[in-house]
Amino acid sequence: MIRSTTLVSFAAFFLSTTLSAQIAFGGQPYGDKAEKRGMPPAVAVHLPSVDVATLLQEDAARAAQGLKGPFRFGFTHPTDLTLANSGSWFTMPNGDRVWRLQLHCPEAFSINLQFSNYVIPEGARMFLYNEAGMVRGSFTAQSNPGHTAFGTAPLEGDHITVEYIEPPAVAGQGQLTISSVIHGYRLLGKSGDRSFGDSGPCNVNTICPEGDDWRPEIRSVAHLILGGGVCTGTLINNCANDSTPYFLTANHCTEGNTSNASWVFVFNWESPACDPTENAPMDHSITGCEKLLEYPPTDASLLLLNSTPPADFQPYYSGWDKTGTAPDSVTCIHHPAGDIKKISSSHGPIIEGMMGSADCWQVTAWHSGTTEPGSSGSALWNQDHRIIGQLFGGQASCSNNINDYYGRFNLTYPQIEQWLGACGDTLDGFDPDLFVPLPLDAAITSIAQVPAVVCNSDSVMPRVTLKNNGEGTITYVNINWFVDGALMGTIPWFGALQPVQTVNIDLPAIHMASGLRQIHVSASNPNAATDTNPLNDEDSLQVMVNSPGINAVVKMNLDRFGTETTWMIQTQQGYVVANGGPYNNSANGYTVNVPVCLAHECYTFTVMDAVGDGMCCTYGLGNYLLVDVLGDTLLQGSGSFTWSDSQELCTNWTGIPEKPGAGGLHVVPNPNNGRFTLYLPDAAATGQVSLHDALGRMLWTGSATGTPMDLSVEGLAEGCYLLILESDGQRNMQRIVVQH
C-alpha cells in the first residue's frame, strides 16, 4: 500500500510451532537427529550482515514519499547455491542420498528462499528446518507440478537447513538452485502486546462477528509473499465458474518483480479467536504464478496461480461488478503490515477519486478497522458482495482513519475481459464446494513449455493440460491449435480421463513468423458429442518470436541505490520484450548482466529511477550498455539523468546497429534448397557480400559487382540465414531460407 506513514515492524510469520507451507506432504528430515544417525554437521554458507538501520530508514523515506512497492520485511541476497557447488552429501544405510546445506543470515529474525531451479524426481523430497526444531515440508514433485521454480514462506531464526533426500532409484536426477536468500530484518513483537504482525490495534480479526456475513469472501483472500515484501490479493471468479485460479492484486506490488515463479500465496491464515488475537499455522500455501496483466491506470495486476487451491483449502472465487456504480457501503479483507487476516468496513460515502494518475474509488472513512502497508492489492467489495476495486494507497491508519484509494474494477475490466469472460455487468462468486458438475465438460486449463520470447527459432512445442470437469469419463476429444486466429492443426486424444483428473498432451511443433504471436488451443467434440460447458474449452497465450534474432546482454552498472533502478526494452508497438529491476542496494554498487534476444527491428530502451536522481553521479558512477555476443556496444548511457533516459535502437541480424542503406538487394528463388541468384541494386555497384547464420557467424564472403551472382549453399542445414551487402559505406540486408 502506498501511504505517507512510517513503516512498522513485521513479525507475522513465526510463532507457530506447527509449520508447513506450499503444498507439503509431511514426514521428517534425517537431519533432525543427525548426530544420532552418525551424520556430519551440515556445511554452512554465511551470508553477509545487513545494515538494518539503513534499511528501515529507506523504508520510512520511501513511505513518506509515497513510493511504490510491497511492504518490505526482508533483504534479498542473490545466490547461486546448487547440489553440486554447495552443501554436502551423506548416504544412509538404506541407500538414500541426503544433501544438506545450512544458511546463516547474521541476526536475522527469519529466512525464506527462492529457487530458480526446482526439479525433484518422484520419491525424492525436500525439507527446511531451523535450530528450534520447526520443520517445513516435505516438498516433492507435486508441490509445484509442471514448474521448475519454487519459493518458501519465512522460517524463524538466523540459521536454517535445507535437506534434500534422494532414493537410490532416482539418484542423480534432482536439481536445486537457491537463487535468493531473504534476510528477515523486521523485529518480532516490537509492539509488545502484538506478538506477531504489527498491524494497528483497531484492526478486526476475520473470525469476529464483523466477518460473519463475509465467510465465503474471506476464503478467497491470500497473503502474498514476493521475496522480501508482502501484499494482499484475492481469488476472482470468471464467467466459466471453473475454479481457474485468477488472482487480483495491485500493480505496484508486482511491477518490476520478475521472480513471480517463486512468489508464495498463503490462504486461510486467520486468528481462531476474536480477541485476543491468536496465531495460526500457514499450512495452506501455493508457489508461483503467471503475470497476465499489469495495468497502471487503475493499479491493477491480474495473476494466474501455478496451481489451483485444493479442496482442503476450501477456496472461494469472489464475484465482481463492472457497472461503475458507486456503492452504499464497502468491505475490505486484508493482511495489514503482514499480519494475520483482518476485515474493515465503511458505510460511505464512497466517491470517485484520483491517486496520482490512477482512477480510484475513494473510501472517505473507515467505520470499523483500517488498512496499512501490506494491505495493498486487497479487494474492495460492495454491499452485494462483489469486487469493485483493489487497494492502491492512502492515508488511513488507526490514528487517521480516512481516505483510502482503490483502483476501479469497472475501468480495469476491459483489459482483463479476455480472461474473465463476457457474461454481463455483474458476476456472483463461485464456491467449488457447492459446484454440481455438468454431464460432459472437457476443459483446457493451461498451455506450458512456451517461453515468453523465442530466439533464433520459429517454432515451439507446447504441452497443454486437459481436465475433465464433467461427471462422466472422457475417452476421446479433439485438440485444436491456432496462431493469430488461423487453425494450424488438430490431433485426437484417446484415453480414459476420470472426473476432476487432468492429463498433459504434447503438441507437435508450431511454426510461426517473427513478431508477437497469439497461440490459442481448444478442446472440441468430447466423446464425439457436444461439450455442455463451452466457456472453459480454450486457453491462449502470447509469445514474441525473434527469428532471426540476435543475442545481446544488458549491462547495468548500478550506483549505491539499486532499488531505485528499473529498465525495459519495447518494440515500436509498445510491447515489452525484456525488463529488469529493481535491484539491491550496495555500498559500492555492482554490475548486473541480463541476456536478451532482439529481432531485426527497432526498439526503445528506457532506464528509470524511482526517486529522480538517475544512476550517476552523487551516489556512484552508474551507467548502462547493451552489447552483442561479441562484446560490441549497441547503445550506452552515462546514467546521468533524472527520472528516465530513453534511446532508440535498430538492430540487424548480426547485432550491429543498422545504417540507412541502398535498397534493392534481390535474391531468387527464395526459399529453395541452397542455390540462389543475387541481383544487386545498381549495375555499377561494387562491394562485399557476406552470409551469416542465426548466431551472427559469418559463413561466406565474396566480392560483389553489378552482375548477378550465383550462391550455392546446398550443404547448409535447413533454416534462416542473412545476406549482407556492404557498398559505399552503407548496408543492405536480405533474409534467405534454405529448405531441402
Domain 666-738 annotated CATH 2.60.40.1930 = yes
**CATH topology identical between 436-546 and 666-738:** yes
Instruction: State the pLDDT confidence band at 687, using cuts at 50, 70 and 90.
Output: confident
Q: Which CATH superfamily is 30-184 part of?
A: Spermadhesin, CUB domain (2.60.120.290)
Question: Which of 164-178, 376-390, 539-553 shows the lowest mean pLDDT across its residues?
Answer: 539-553
* b/e 10-38 (16+ beta carbons within 10 angstroms → b): bbbbbbbeebbbbbbeeeebbbeebeeee
Average pLDDT over residues 704-714: 82
Q: What is the pLDDT of residue 487?
A: 94
The gap from C-alpha 591 to its chain's centroid, in whole angstroms, comes to 23
State the architecture of 436-546 in CATH terms. Answer: Sandwich (2.60)
Pick the more confident residue, 320 or 689: 320
Q: What is the mean pLDDT of residues 636-665?
A: 68
In the chain, domain spans: 30-184, 204-427, 436-546, 549-650, 666-738
Q: Which CATH code, of 3.40.640.10, 2.40.10.120, 1.20.120.640, 2.40.50.140, is assigned to 204-427?
A: 2.40.10.120
Give dist(CA 385, CA 304) in Å, integer.
22
Would you state the CATH architecture of domain 549-650? Sandwich (2.60)
Q: What is the pLDDT of residues 218-241, one digit of tens each?
A: 999 999 999 999 999 999 999 999
Extended beta strands in 309-349, E state: 319-321, 330-334, 342-346
Q: How would residue 23 be classed by pLDDT, with cut points 50, 70 and 90?
A: low
* Listed range (52-56, 360-364, 724-728, 730-734) with the worst mean pLDDT: 730-734
Helix, strand, coil shares of the chain as percentages rounded to 5? 10, 45, 45
Q: What is the pLDDT of residues 371-389, one digit of tens each?
A: 888 899 999 999 999 999 9
Q: Is the pTM of this model over 0.85?
A: no
What's the residue count for the chain? 740
Chain Cα centroid distance, residue 521: 22
The closest of 332, 399, 400 to 361, measured between CA atoms, is: 332
DSSP state for residue 366 in the 8-state scheme: -
Q: Taking 70 as the threshold, does the pLDDT of residue 496 lie above it?
A: yes
- Residue 509 pLDDT greater than 50, yes or no: yes
**pLDDT per residue as tens digits for the range 599-640:** 877 889 999 998 788 999 888 899 999 988 777 788 889 899
**pLDDT at position 19, please?**
32
User: What's residue 724's pLDDT?
Assistant: 79
- Where does the pLDDT of residue 66 fall: very low under 50, low under 70, confident under 90, or very high at 90 and above? low
pLDDT for 16: 29
Task: Give dist(CA 426, CA 422) in Å, integer.
Answer: 10
Average pLDDT, the chain: 85
Q: Which residues are catalytic?
A: 252, 299, 376
Residues 6+ apart with CB under 8 A from 618: none
Q: How far apart are CA 380 and CA 699, in angstroms?
A: 61
Mean pLDDT of 540-550: 85
Q: Residue 15 above 60 pLDDT?
A: no
Tens-place pLDDT, residues 235-272: 999 999 999 999 999 999 999 898 899 999 999 998 88
pLDDT at 107 over 90: yes
pLDDT of residue 178: 97
What is the predicted pLDDT for the residue at 8? 27
**Confidence class for position 646, pLDDT limits 50, 70, 90:** very high
Mean pLDDT value across residues 117-146: 88
What does the pLDDT average to over 334-343?
A: 91
**pLDDT of 515 higher than 90:** no
- Sequence-distant (≥ 6) Cβ neighbours of residue 27 within 8 angstroms: 125, 127, 137, 138
The span from the CA of 365 to the CA of 402, in Å, is 4
Residue of 3 and 710 predicted with greater confidence: 710
